[in-house]
A and B are shown apart, each in its own frame.
Chain A
C-alpha cells in the first residue's frame, strides 16, 4: 500500500538553526508527495508538493524538499528556523487505493511537531 512514514514525532531546533523533518514513502510507482503545516486549531496549509517534475521542490516560508527515489525520501528542510515555524507538519501522499478508484484522496503521515527554541 502507498503510505508515508514520518520519523520523529517531535523535533526541537534553536532559532536560526537548520530544520530537517523526515518523510519516507513506500510506493511501487512514482508518488505525488505533499508537505502541509498545521497551526493549533487550524486547518492545513500546503507548503509544497512533488509532482514528478523537478526533484528539488521549493515551497512557501523558505521551506524546500528533495525527492530522492533511491532513498524513498522526501525530507523537508529550512536553512534557518524562525519562531513562527513552530507547528505540526504532515507529509502526505495520494493513496494508491485512491488513485485506483479515482478518488485520489490524501494519506497522511503521523505528523511531526516542530518546536523552535529562542
Chain B
C-alpha cells in the first residue's frame, strides 16, 4: 500500500532557529500534500495544502512566512518552521493524496514530527 515517510520524527531546537520537516511519498506520486498541526489531546488542524510546482494554499490564521512549504517534486514536500518559538512546539503531520482504484482519493499520513522549541 501507499507509504508516506516523514522525517525527522522528533526534533528539539533553540528558539530563533529554523527547522525543516520532510514528507516523502515512497511508492506513489502525490500531486497534493497536506500539512496538519496537532496540539496535545486535540484534533488535527489543517495548516496548508501544497500542490506540486505551485505555491501552497494556507489556511486562515497560518503565517505563510513562518511556515514555509515547498513541494518541488511529486514525491517530496517540506515544511520549514522559521525563527521557531516555544509556541510553535507541536506535533506536525503531513498527508499525501493519491487516487485509488474506486476513483476516490486516498489519504496517506506520515508518522508525524514532534517539534519542541526551547
Q: Is the CB of A63 closer than 8 A to any CB of chain B? A: no
| Shortest CB distance A79–B (Å) | 25
Bound-complex Cα distance A116 to B102 (A): 34
Instruction: Indicate if A17 sits at the interface (CB-CB under 8 A).
Output: no
Interface residues in B, total, Cβ within 8 A? 28
Q: How far is the CB of B52 from chain A (nearest CB, A)?
A: 13
Q: How far is the CB of A38 from chain B (nearest CB, A)?
A: 9
CB of A96 within 8 A of chain B?
no
Known contacts A103-B57, A106-B95, A108-B43; A32/B111 CB under 8 A? no
Give CA–CA (A53, B32) in the complex, Å: 25
Asked if residues A43 and B49 are in contact (CB atoms below 8 Å), the reply is no
Asked if B28 is an interface residue, CB under 8 A from chain A, the answer is no
Q: Which residues of A contact B (CB under 8 A)?
A: 32, 34, 36, 41-46, 49, 51, 53, 90, 103-111, 113
